[in-house]
Amino acid sequence: MSQVPPFAIISGRQVHDAVHGREREVTELIESAYRLHGEGETTNPDSYFLRFPDRPRDRIIALPASVRGKVGVHGLKWISSFPDNVTAGIPRASAVLVLNDFHTGYPIACLEASIISAARTAASAASAAVRLSTARGAAPRRLGVVGAGVIARYTYHYLRANGLHFDSVGVHDLSAEHAAGFGDHLRRSGEQDVVRHDSLDGLLADSDLVLFATVAGEPHVIDPALFGHAPLVLHLSLRDLGPDVILNAWNVVDDVEHVMKAGTSVHLTEQRVGHRDFVAGTLCDVLAGRIAPPADRPVVFSPFGLGVLDLVLAKHVYDQVAADGGLTTVPDFFYDLQRYG
């Protein structure tokens, strides 16, 4: 007979302690999640966007998913993005994630998930950067960061932890304060040559690896000539690049169906040209060696963000906290359990 599982709360501190300093391990975990997804061992429905007519920049997104195989879990990430939070001194994004027992469907845990989301995004970007640059035959040496926030910070550290080192790092942000603060963080992290660029064009020209981590709602980089030196572009914020830039690039995504929605740059490009032929394939295809990027064209990685990645990492955190004896369960969370009272 199935038993009702206990319900646990896992704090942001516990999540941080479970992933911090384990960036290589987390990246390998995320790559395994991509492979499970590519093998059909996941269910990943469309994300659902809750938007507000009077606050078009704000949104809350539901990402349901299920992972079979050795992971064996269902769940939902519920993540908000309120950009004006930054001016109030708190992070833009906040999130929780609910894990459901694979057999009974009962929720087994609620985890603070902004760290999970940032870590899986950064791990995805680091995997793409390493795999794509290796396939092109040259490691990038000049990093350019557009958008100096939490995702940029996590991604920088995941790039470094996965073996990429930089002769210079350029930073561009619409806020001089944020750019300066991020630059200080880079110097404290050991970077010797950090340059703050007032001009985005100048940053692009000086970078062979470009990280976009902005809150842009529509394309603002529209000239393909800015990428004439064929950089590798981690387009994490998804809406920075105009269709002409996308059409001039070799494009790889995380999931073709998922990324072609919600006004992403590749979605706008599909709407313009009426097809998806400009997408070479997925990161899973790169991991499996089915596709390889050219060295003489810009290469753009545009990951929409899959709920299965969050679930795989969250289940890993749950298992680690449980093994360490750190689960905080809620007594009587499931209470009225008798069918007839």
- pLDDT tens-place string over residues 104-144: 999 999 999 999 999 999 999 999 999 999 999 999 999 99
Give me the CATH number covering residue 85: 3.30.1780.10
Residues 249 and 158 reside in one and the same domain = yes
Is there a domain that residue 26 lies in? yes
Q: What is the pLDDT of residue 271?
A: 98
Is there a domain that residue 17 lies in? yes
Question: pLDDT class for 339, splitting at 50, 70, 90?
Answer: confident
Task: Give which of 48, 45, 27, 25 is closest to 37, Cα–Cα.
Answer: 45
Is there a domain that residue 334 lies in? no
Q: What is the pLDDT of residue 338?
A: 87
Reported residue count of the chain is: 341
Rounded CA-CA distance 283/35 in Å is 9
Rounded CA-CA distance 166/159 in Å is 10
Residues 61 and 48 reside in one and the same domain = yes
Check: CB of residue 139 under 8 Å from CB of residue 1: no
Residues 72 and 166 reside in one and the same domain = no
Residues 160 and 108 reside in one and the same domain = no
pLDDT > 60? residue 177:
yes
pLDDT > 90? residue 3:
no
Give me the CATH number covering residue 167: 3.40.50.720
42-43 and 250-253 beta bridge pairing: unpaired
Range of the domain at 253: 123-302
pLDDT > 60? residue 1:
no
pLDDT digits (tens, 9 = 90+) for 75-112: 999 999 999 999 899 999 999 999 999 999 999 999 99
Residues 311 and 278 reside in one and the same domain = no
Rounded CA-CA distance 94/60 in Å is 9
DSSP secondary structure of 51-84:
E-TT-TT-EEEEEEEEE-TTT-EEEEEEEEE-GG
Q: Which residues contact 277 (CB under 8 A, 6 or more apart)?
A: none
| Entry pTM | 0.95
pLDDT > 70? residue 204:
yes
Is there a domain that residue 14 lies in? yes
Residues 143 and 251 reside in one and the same domain = yes
Rounded CA-CA distance 67/72 in Å is 6
Q: What is the pLDDT of residue 190?
A: 96
Residues 186 and 288 reside in one and the same domain = yes
Residues 102 and 214 reside in one and the same domain = no
SS (H, E, C) 155-217: HHHHHHHCCCCCCEEEEECCCHHHHHHHHHHHHHCCCCCEEECCCHHHHHHCCCEEEECCCCC
Q: What is the pLDDT of residue 341?
A: 78
Is there a domain that residue 336 lies in? no
Residues 166 and 289 reside in one and the same domain = yes
Q: What is the pLDDT of residue 84?
A: 92
Q: What angle do CA 319, 74, 256 make, to 5 degrees?
A: 115
- Mean pLDDT value across residues 321-328: 96
pLDDT digits (tens, 9 = 90+) for 7-28: 999 999 999 999 999 999 999 9
Residues 282 and 201 reside in one and the same domain = yes
Q: DSSP label at 240?
A: S
Provide the domain count of the chain: 2
Q: Which residues contact 9 (CB under 8 A, 6 or more apart)?
A: 109, 110, 328, 329, 330
pLDDT digits (tens, 9 = 90+) for 259-305: 999 999 999 999 999 999 999 999 999 999 999 999 999 999 999 99
Is there a domain that residue 3 lies in? no
Residues 143 and 96 reside in one and the same domain = no
Is there a domain that residue 271 lies in? yes
194-196 and 209-212 beta bridge pairing: unpaired
Percent of the chain with pLDDT over 90: 95
Residues 98 and 157 reside in one and the same domain = no
pLDDT > 80? residue 247:
yes
Is there a domain that residue 278 lies in? yes
Give 289-295's long-range contacts (Cβ < 8 A, gap of 24+).
Answer: 291/252, 292/135, 293/132, 293/135, 293/136, 293/232, 293/250, 293/252, 294/136, 294/230, 294/250, 295/136, 295/137, 295/138, 295/230
